[in-house]
Structures are given as C-alpha cells and as structure tokens.
Amino acid sequence: MSQEISIIINNYQTRGLLKQCLKGILTYPPSVPYEIIVVDNNSRDGSAEMVKENFPAIKLIEAKENLGHHKGNNLGIKNSTGKYILILNTDIAVLDNAIDKIYQFMESHPEAALVGPRLKNPDGTIQASCLRFPGKLVPIYRRTFLGQMPSAKKELDNYLMTDFDHQETREVDWILGACVMVRREAIEKVGLMDEDLFLYFGDIAWCRKFWDAGYKVYYFVGAEIIHYHKRESAQNGFFSKIFWFHIFDWFKYLRKYS
C-alpha cells in the first residue's frame, strides 16, 4: 500500500534523540496516510533494540555498517512508498501539525521539489537553515582564522543569508537537510542523494540538481520545527574526525559540482 508521506530517519548512535524524535512524530502525526522508516547504521548503542521494543509498528532497517548520511537516507527512500519523502535528523522535535502544513504546501506548489520549514533552536531563536550556494572557500572560512578577514566575513554573510529576516516563505538556493520534504517525482527525475559524499554537502548537491531540472526549492515559514543542532564539524578543529569528513566531502563536492 502506497503512502502519502514516508518519514525517513537515519540514525547513528543517537538512541535517546531517536526515541524523542519518534515520540514527537507519533504525538503529532500527519493526518494523511504515512509510514516511518528508521535506518540504523550499525549503531551498537541499543538504538535498534529500542525501536523494536518501543515502536514495533515502525519499519526498521538495520544496516551492517555506518552508511553515512546520504547512503543511509537513500536506503530508506528505496524502501519507501510515499508520494513525498520527509527526511528528518534524529535531533528534530516535531511540533503541532507541522508535518501536515509542509505536506499541504507541497500539494499546492507542484513546481517544488523540496521544501524546508523554519527551524528554531530550543530557546526559540531562528536557525540559518536556508542558504545560498557556497563559494569555493566558504567551508575553509567557517572553520579557520581566515574567516575573520573582511572579505571572508562578507562572503559568509552572503552564504548565511544574514540579509534575510526569515519571516517570509521564499525560493532559496538550498535547505539544510535536517528536515526537508522532497517530491518523489523529482527524485525519480534527478536521482537519489549523492553517495560519493559521506556526511556533508549532499543537501547542497541535491538542491542544485533540482534547480537544474527545472524544479524549485522553498523555505516555508508556515511550519516550525525545533532542531537541537550541534555543528560537530566545527568542534575540536583539526583533531576532530568529523572535521576531516567535512573537508574531504567538500573537495569531492567541488570536483563534481563546481
């Protein structure tokens, strides 16, 4: 049986966050037919067992290794049936009827391949979740002292859309992949997320492909979601494994899309 919405949650060693995320969805479920698919990337922290015990009706896919963000989400998409795919990070908290609002937006905007709601921090402040396509040095600026240069600050402000007050729905270059709804028809046209990229920049590459295919990408203020965001790639600098995943993915992205 096909669904209207397939909710894909890709998990790696975030058992507690996953449990809270699933509770939130089931507290405020979509009003249309939907399914939830959890892809567990061989977490070994009890995540898979927790899903089986507490949420037996949810489809659980247990990967034999850590597939990363894009390959893991693709595995969920391949096993889904929804007209729309809602990709959620485990650190997302669903509020009220936000999923219905996003669904209704997609239904009324057939030109939209992907839409992201307004993301807020737990304290209510707005996150920069819609951005412009980055210049070649943006990731370097964001993670090194070079970002303090006046020219770098100007480029970073442009990238982060600091000139936008986030109070209106609008077309944008790309949306942070923590919470996005994607049209299956558009995925069938441009393909799944780029599996050459392990953790980062797949959301940028995907949005670029959607734009190139004639679709649009939207930032939608009519729905709000809480995101317990932590910029892991910016922590511990050069000594962080996540930092180097970020840099390596950036070079791969540049080679393929610049």
Q: What would the pLDDT profile of 170-195 be if each residue is shown by its tens digit? A: 999 999 999 999 999 999 999 999 99
Could you tell me the two tokens for 232?
Answer: 């892991």
Neighbours of 166 (CB within 10 A): 16
Q: Is the pLDDT of residue 85 over 60?
A: yes
pLDDT at residue 37 in the model: 98
pLDDT-based confidence at residue 240 (cuts at 50, 70, 90): low
**Given a cut of 50, is residue 235 above it in pLDDT?**
no
Lowest mean pLDDT among 68-77, 104-113, 239-248: 239-248
Write out the two tokens for 101. 């609002």
Output the furthest CA–CA distance in the chain (Å, rounded): 56
Paired strand residues for 62? 40
pLDDT(3) > 90: yes
Q: How far is CA 178 from the centre of its chain?
A: 3
Using one digit for the tens of pLDDT, what is the confidence trace for 51-61? 999 999 999 99
The span from the first CA to the last CA of the chain, in angstroms, equals: 41
pLDDT digits (tens, 9 = 90+) for 130-182: 999 998 888 778 777 878 888 888 989 999 999 999 999 999 999 999 999 99
- Would you say residue 230 has pLDDT above 90? no
- Residue 237 is predicted with a pLDDT of 55
* CA–CA separation, 148 and 141 (whole Å): 8
Per-residue model confidence (pLDDT) at position 143:
74
Beta-bridge partners for 170: 219
CA angle at 80 for the pair 79 and 85, rounded to the nearest 5°? 135
Beta bridge partners of 36: 7
20-74: pLDDT as tens digits: 999 999 999 999 999 999 999 999 999 999 999 999 999 999 999 999 999 999 9
Q: Which CATH class is domain 5-257?
A: alpha beta
Helices (H) then strands (E): counts for the chain:
9, 11
- Cα–Cα distance, 207 to 212 (Å, whole number): 9
Which pLDDT score, from 0 to 100, does residue 250 have? 85
**Cα dihedral 157, 73, 191, 57 sign:** negative
Residue with tokens 């982060």: 160
Whether the Cβ atoms of residue 7 and residue 34 lie closer than 8 Å to each other: yes
Q: What angle do CA 203, 207, 212 make, to 5 degrees?
A: 150
Contact 208, 257 (CB under 8 A): yes
- Bridge partners of 126? 120
